[in-house]
Structure 1
Amino acid sequence: MQVQGSIALVTGANGGIGQYYIQGLQAAGANRIYAGARNPDSLKDIAATDPDRIIPIPLDITDEVSVKAAAESCSDVNLLINNAGVGFNQRLVAEINFDKVRSEIEVNYLGTLRMSLAFAPVLKANGREAIVSGGTTSCIVNMLTMLAKVNFPLNASYCASKAAALLVTQGIRAELASQKTLVVGVMPGTVDTGMSKNFPPPKVAPEEVVRAALQAVIDEVEDVYPGEQAQQMQAQLLQDPKAVEKWMAAVVAS
């Protein structure tokens, strides 16, 4: 799967990582980049940097009608980047707010699923030529987190929604393998964006996350762990997952 020459769509394009995906796709030589946001006017500045390639579109991934409209109007996409996400840094027992829980589930889990289902036939159709040449035809990139694999109690409901998104990623990957659609799960540690401003270092730069994600597309790597923190945590989870869980849980008592 080549990023150069691709037609990409980025959800949550006005968010902390979204703008870096747009810049990364530009640098990698994507032919067209659809930048999705609930308010496409928020993307005017970045679109102005490359108006021939960056096309803002209205997109609310929690709205079935909006998602279907995007799939119809962006019918040439062969690289879908499910980047939109939300997190409220809330515990479960101590301060649960079910409205916030529902929002995290609706965006992080159901939104990712909704977009993937809507664009699966689009990706299949646009990959037929690549099937003839023997290559991977199309790709979905799902922005996840290491917290999809182990719960951080101070952000517990967010972790749960991302865990659901991880399993959705695996399920979609299995079902779309026959149409040669690569599905990449991106699992960084703490990313240096506004969402994590109150979290301590180390933090991985969003540019590094994007570089690793797009390289995974090129190399056809299904799971990628950008940054030293994520790589170390993944190694620890493979060695002793219960120890990592207890280490994360200790933050509540501190």
Structure 2
Amino acid sequence: MELHGATALVTGVGIDNLGHHLVRQLIERGATRVYAAARRPENVHVDEAEIIRLDLTDAASIEGAARAAADVDILINNAATFAGDLNFIDADLDRVRRLFETNFYGTLRMVQAFTPILEHNGGGAILNVLSAAAWSHLDGVDVYGATKAAGWRMTESLRHELAPRGIQVSSLLFGMAATPTLRAYADAVAGPGVMDAMMTPPAEIARIALDGIEAGRSQILGDRLAVDARAALADDPEPVVITSPRVVAHGVS
């Protein structure tokens, strides 16, 4: 999928997060128009982008975004809600539902809303931003990981469903991006700076993601954590356990 001359929409754009860098790099690569969608538009700091207010838990908001960005041929579903303190056995089910409402159902609603647009515009590409947490175990993060595992399964199916419509579907998975949110989480659980070596700059993950879209790759691994998690999962059915500062599964690191 050629990015130069394309029109793209990126969800979940915030301060120095992955969405921010995706928007900036799309513009730098010559995209004709880039829509930056955010629940809090005041956190979008890219002058060249066209800002759209978007709440993935609100069907009317998604419908409004589809009307406002009817010229899109690339959709990047980056928006998500993170939880680092939620395990299954004692989970507040309302919190679990809210995570799935944004991370799974919100993404699905976006795909359903924009598929007719992409098809009408001659085809295009969808990138669903997921997480290596879909393939690994980390205390407190497993419910979040389940939402991303569901997203991964959905993306695999969408690839086959949408190929006849000329729409390329890809997934991006990574372990830890050095965004303000994840840095704060890592420092809180492991101590200041302890997990810095595990983190990849979000600009680098954005570059890998966009290179993957241009190359037509179906599954894009954005950092070493994702590569290791995927390899360990293929070798052993037991969950990968993330420890600091490596990914370890039965002695394989």
TM > 0.5: yes
Root-mean-square deviation (CA, aligned residues, Å) is 2.1
CA shift, 1:94, in A, is: 6.4
Query: Is the 8 Å Cα contact of residues 175 and 223 (structure 2) preserved in structure 1?
Result: yes
Which residue of 1 is the match for residue 216 of structure 2? 220
- Tell me the SS of whatever aligns to 1:238: helix
- Tell me the SS of whatever aligns to 2:233: helix
Q: Give, as a single letter, the amino acid of the residue that structure 2 aligns with 1:13.
A: V
CA shift, 1:75, in A, is: 0.6
Matched, 1:195 2:190: no
| TM-score normalised by length of structure 2 | 0.86
Distance 1:246 1:19 in 2: 27
Q: Rate the CA distance shift 1:246–1:19 in 2: closer, same or farther, 3 A.
A: closer
Among residues 154, 172, 182, which one is paired with 1:186 in the alignment?
172
Among residues 171, 196, 214, which one is paired with 2:157 in the alignment?
171
Long gaps (5+) in structure 2? 187-194
Long gaps (5+) in structure 1? 128-136
Q: Give, as a single letter, the amino acid of the residue that structure 2 aligns with 1:98.
A: L
Q: Rate the CA distance shift 1:82–1:246 in 2: closer, same or farther, 3 A.
A: closer
Query: Is the 8 Å Cα contact of residues 88 and 100 (structure 1) preserved in structure 2?
Result: no
Which residue of 2 is the match for residue 80 of structure 1? 75
Matched, 1:63 2:61: no
Which residue of 2 is the match for residue 3 of structure 1? 3
Which residue of 2 is the match for residue 29 of structure 1? 30
Q: Rate the CA distance shift 1:24–1:246 in 2: closer, same or farther, 3 A.
A: closer
Greater fraction helix = 1
Distance 1:244 1:180 in 2: 35
Distance 2:163 2:4 in 1: 22
Distance 1:33 1:153 in 2: 37
* Farther off after superposition, 65-74 or 225-234: 225-234
The 5 A counterparts of 1:1-254 are: 1-14=1-14, 16-43=17-44, 45-47=45-47, 50=48, 54-93=49-88, 95-127=90-122, 137-197=123-183, 198-199=185-186, 200=195, 201-242=197-238, 244=240
Distance 2:170 2:13 in 1: 18
CA shift, 1:103, in A, is: 1.8
- Tell me the SS of whatever aligns to 2:35: strand
CA shift, 1:60, in A, is: 1.0
Tell me how many residue pairs correspond in the alignment: 235
| TM-score normalised by length of structure 1 | 0.86
Q: Rate the CA distance shift 1:102–1:67 in 2: closer, same or farther, 3 A.
A: same
CA shift, 1:243, in A, is: 6.1
Q: Deviations over 1:85-120 (max 9, x none)?
A: 111212325652333212210111011100001000
Query: Is the 8 Å Cα contact of residues 146 and 188 (structure 1) preserved in structure 2?
Result: yes
Which residue of 1 is the match for residue 192 of structure 2? none
Distance 1:39 1:230 in 2: 29
CA shift, 1:194, in A, is: 2.6
Q: Deviations over 1:10-41 (max 9, x none)?
A: 11112521111111111111110011112323
CA shift, 1:169, in A, is: 0.9
Aligned residues: percent identity?
A: 33
CA shift, 1:246, in A, is: 9.4
CA shift, 1:62, in A, is: 1.2
